[in-house]
């Protein structure tokens, strides 16, 4: 198959060339290729498949239906590899649960589904980390831990297996009593706020763990500019830490919660406009290393209630690439190369896959975006409900299989 006339957008920049795919691999890139199976995509952008490593299932329930829906919706949004956070129900902490996920890893017309491993099992004890990593978990996931003996043991397993720790920094004593970011909007709505210290203090301590043990840590969905400063400083000192930021915190601020809109109640919560602008600057400078759609959909029963009682989360993966094109690439906040680095290359490296480049010999995981078409956000429990986005994913090549939308 030959993809003809598209503008290739990868970590090396933009160029208009044809791409020949054979047996799921890029066989040739050149001008005006000739062949029997030619797909004309004049004016479309050809992106490497996006990699999202912070994905959750509807209502957190791990079942076949939710996995199949996620797989198809992810591919429609430009994601060819989606990595499940392990804090589902049931938790992904044993071989049986992991095997269930892997049975649904490759779905026709869908993205590849991978999974992290929960560091702790349901009883609060260490999972069988060594075995689970050998069985195919791509990383170890945990939220804040105060037991440094356990953290030390987890670090030793990671060192042996050369894997990454995905760490959600949140102080439960500060977080559980709040429902949105502490600040002017929370006060205006009369809602309890979540202190920024909930994230910052635990990031600071885990940086020292990474420094001491020489392990890699990705801090998941950070929102505080101070957190990003700490991580940037540690990286300059040679510590293998990096930060992920959700697109919601780049595109929206906490004013989206006005009117007690439960679709704007996400975890971590939206922050002030001042902090949002700081996050944009960090993305532009390279101090934000990876992006996520932070997909965490909920049923009506968990959203059509009071803001205080509503569950955290929003649906977003099906519009991931159009959202980024509309609000980050098209207005010139970042160029396509910087976007691909943050949304494909960097998260791919975190889980040990080669992503972000369209080159001969590379796996043919690619997305075609037509910038002249639009995408209407149909989900009534989306932070972006009723918005019309510029750009539409019109086709995907995943594991060498072509899916048209």
Q: What is the mean pLDDT of residues 366-386?
A: 95
Distance between CA atoms of residues 176 and 398, nearest Å = 40
Flag whether pLDDT at 293 surpasses 70: yes
Rg, the chain, Cα only: 21
Q: What does 9-30 look like in DSSP terms, one character per residue?
A: EETTEEEE-EEEEETTEEEEEE
Contact 217, 140 (CB under 8 A): no
Cα gap 367→152, rounded to integer Å: 40
pLDDT for the residue 87: 95
* Local confidence band at 175 (pLDDT 50, 70, 90 cut-offs): low
Instruction: At 34, give phi and psi (nearest 5°).
Output: -120, 135
Q: What is the spatial distance between Cα 279 and Cα 141, in angstroms, rounded to a whole number? A: 24
pLDDT at 43: 92
- CA end-to-end span of the chain: 18
Give tens-digit pLDDT for 305-353: 999 999 999 999 999 999 999 999 999 999 999 999 999 999 999 999 9
Domain boundaries, the chain: 48-357
Beta strand pairing call for 193-194 and 180-181: parallel
Phi, psi of 232 (to 5 degrees): -60, -40
Among 299, 280, 292, 350, CA closest to 323: 292
Q: By the 8 A CB rule, do 397 and 61 touch?
A: no
Structure confidence by residue, pLDDT tens digits, 98-154: 999 999 999 999 999 999 999 999 898 999 999 999 999 999 999 988 788 899 999
State the pLDDT at residue 174: 65
Residue 317 and residue 382: Cα distance in Å, rounded?
A: 10
DSSP state of 163: -
Instruction: Write out the H or E segment, with its range, that includes residue 324.
Output: helix 320-324
Distance CA 235, CA 321 (A): 28
Least-confidence region, from 76-85, 198-207, 223-232: 198-207
Say whether domain 48-357 belongs to CATH 3.30.565.10. no
Omega prior to 90 cis, within 30 of 0? yes
CA gap 187, 226 in Å, rounded: 22
Given a contact cutoff of 8 angstroms between Cβ atoms, the answer to whether 296 and 56 are in contact is yes
Alpha helices, H only, 176-259: 184-189, 197-213, 225-236, 247-251
pLDDT tens for each residue of 315-326: 999 999 999 999
Using the predicted structure, report yes or no on whether residue 171 has a pLDDT greater than 80.
no
Instruction: Look at residues 72, 8, 50 and name the one whose alpha carbon lies nearest to residue 290.
Output: 50
Judge whether 296 and 52 are in contact, CB under 8 Å.
no
Instruction: Report yes or no: 114 and 351 within 8 Å, Cβ to Cβ.
Output: yes
- Give mean pLDDT, residues 180-187: 95
Considering the entire predicted model, what is its pTM? 0.97
Q: Shortest CA distance to 361 belongs to which of 20, 105, 4, 53?
A: 20
């Amino acid at each position: 198959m030959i993809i003809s006339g598209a503008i290739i957008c990868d970590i090396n920049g933009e160029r208009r060339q044809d791409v020949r795919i054979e047996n799921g691999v890029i066989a040739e890139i050149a001008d005006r290729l000739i062949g029997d199976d030619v797909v004309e995509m004049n004016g479309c952008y050809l992106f490497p498949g996006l990699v999202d490593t912070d994905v959750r299932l509807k209502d957190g329930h791990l079942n076949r239906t939710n996995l199949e829906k996620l797989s198809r919706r992810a591919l429609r949004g430009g994601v060819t590899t989606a990595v499940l956070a392990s804090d589902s129900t049931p938790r992904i902490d044993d071989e049986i649960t992991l095997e269930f996920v892997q049975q649904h890893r490759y779905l026709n017309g869908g993205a590849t589904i991978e999974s992290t491993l929960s560091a702790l099992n349901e009883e609060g004890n260490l999972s069988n980390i060594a075995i689970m990593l050998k069985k195919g978990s791509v990383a170890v996931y945990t939220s804040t831990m105060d037991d440094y003996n356990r953290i030390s043991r987890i670090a030793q397993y990671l060192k042996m297996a050369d894997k990454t720790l995905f760490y959600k920094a949140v102080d439960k004593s500060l977080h559980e009593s709040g429902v949105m970011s502490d600040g002017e909007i929370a006060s205006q709505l009369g809602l309890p706020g979540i202190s920024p210290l909930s994230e910052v203090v635990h990031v600071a301590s885990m940086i020292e763990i990474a420094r001491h043990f020489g392990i890699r840590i990705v801090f998941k969905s950070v929102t505080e500019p101070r957190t990003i400063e700490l991580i940037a400083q540690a990286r300059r000192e040679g510590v293998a830490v990096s930060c992920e930021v959700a697109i919601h915190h780049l595109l929206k601020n906490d004013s989206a919660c006005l009117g007690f809109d439960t679709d704007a109640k996400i975890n971590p919560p939206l922050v002030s406009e001042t902090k949002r602008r700081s996050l944009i600057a960090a993305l532009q400078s390279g101090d934000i290393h990876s992006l996520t759609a932070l997909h965490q959909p909920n049923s009506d029963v968990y959203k059509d209630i009071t803001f205080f009682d509503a569950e955290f989360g929003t649906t977003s993966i099906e519009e991931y690439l159009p959202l980024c094109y509309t609000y980050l690439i098209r207005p010139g906040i970042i160029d396509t190369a910087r976007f691909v680095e943050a949304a494909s290359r960097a998260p791919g490296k975190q889980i040990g896959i080669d992503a972000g480049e369209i080159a001969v010999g590379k796996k043919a995981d690619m997305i075609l975006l037509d910038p002249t078409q639009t995408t209407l956000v149909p989900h009534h429990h989306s932070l972006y409900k009723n918005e019309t986005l510029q750009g539409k994913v019109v086709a995907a090549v995943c594991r060498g299989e072509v899916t048209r939308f």
